[in-house]
Amino acid sequence: MHRIGLRNERFALQFMAEHPGMDAADLIRRRLPIGLRKLLSVLARQDHVGQTLRINAPQSAHAITPIRVTFEPRLLDECEPSFEELESAVTPAGPGARDEDREIKLYKRRLRKVFVRGGGAVLLLSALPLGFAAIQALRLRRVTRELGQMAGLVLVAALSFLAVNGTLSPAWFVAPGCLIVRGRRGLRVYERQHSILCVTHLKDTALVLLADARGGVRRVVTHAESEFLLRAWLSPVPAPPLERLSDLA
């Protein structure tokens, strides 16, 4: 697999050398035989940095308005009160907008986020066999082996869902002109002038890929999160100094 990755990377580099006029967007549309995250990292090493790409944006999507005020790093999670507070503060109310209780708004977002990321299917597929096993155990008036197995499978499915959807994966924080990833190895800071960001809009979510010369990260986010990330990423406000980010570690 490592050899295949190197061969594909060399092919991408050769293709870029043969087509020097192509920008990052053109290269991505060519669907070269290399993973998109790897391609972004190759582009960053070839000095295609400072670029922000938005793919498959729906017609209803409006232009991104950069945030022009300074703010402390915020967790990229629309269900976090601090995220919603800043989002509301920097987003002008549209015509016909109405106030909504913050707790109700956050509850709706949490519920929607679980379902658009596949939580509804996980819940249904897990609850049905567990329910049948529980009914059988009640009839026999004892804890059956099947009930224990189903409970274990539900636990594994829940943990897998949390891991894939970010709850147990590295935390992403947004700040003006940068994104901070907090993982087991500490903080990793991606700055706009040294990185390339690609947001691909899907039906109910968006795929974010971010890379610099050292490598890249990816995550599926909601549309509200992708828009806020883009607004912060394109902000003209200077990024916070690295020493101020130590509190996130």
Angle between helices 119-140 and 145-164 (to 10 degrees): 170
pLDDT score of 1: 39
pLDDT score of 244: 75
Return the bridge partners of 209, or none.
198, 218
Residue type for position 101: D
C-alpha to C-alpha distance for 49 and 248, rounded to whole angstroms: 25
- pLDDT tens per residue, range 220-246: 888 889 999 999 999 999 988 877 777
Kindly list the distances between the CA atom of residue 14 and the CA atoms of 3, 21, 31, 196, 212, in Å, as whole numbers in the listed order.
Answer: 16, 13, 15, 20, 20
The model carries a pTM of: 0.69
In Å, how far from its chain's centre is CA 167?
11
Evaluate whether 177 touches 233 at the Cβ level (below 8 Å).
Answer: yes
Q: Has residue 201 got a pLDDT over 50?
A: yes
